[in-house]
């Protein structure tokens, strides 16, 4: 599986950063703050990384794959489902 991270929706190569304004729901704003605290990254870097991970995971699912995680204190795999 390959994903070209530098390609725009039109299929052309992106050459400069895109500036956007986002209105976060309260739960999303809290999640962003938590992620920034956990990683020490900036909000911008955290959002960029989250989008890249989301695209990868969504591609895995759309290609017929299944996502699982295993909690640090658990023995069994738990299936991840996006709703």
In this prediction, residue 17 carries a pLDDT of 85
Cα separation, 41 vs 35, whole angstroms: 8
Q: What is the pLDDT of residues 46-55, one digit of tens each?
A: 999 999 999 9
**Overall residue count recorded for the chain in this entry:** 83
DSSP, collapsed to helix, strand or coil, labels residue 80 as strand
- For the chain, how many structural domains are there in total? 1
Q: What is the pLDDT of residues 59-70, one digit of tens each?
A: 999 999 999 999
In this prediction, residue 1 carries a pLDDT of 45
Structural domain of 41: 1-83
């Amino acid at each position: 599986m390959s994903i070209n991270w530098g390609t725009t929706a039109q299929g052309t190569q992106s050459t400069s950063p895109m500036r956007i304004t986002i209105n976060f729901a309260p739960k999303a704003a809290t999640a962003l703050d938590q992620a920034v605290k956990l990683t020490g990254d900036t909000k911008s870097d955290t959002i960029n990384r989250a989008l890249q991970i989301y695209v990868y995971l969504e591609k895995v699912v759309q290609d017929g794959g299944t996502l699982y995680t295993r909690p640090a204190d658990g023995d069994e795999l738990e299936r991840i489902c996006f709703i």
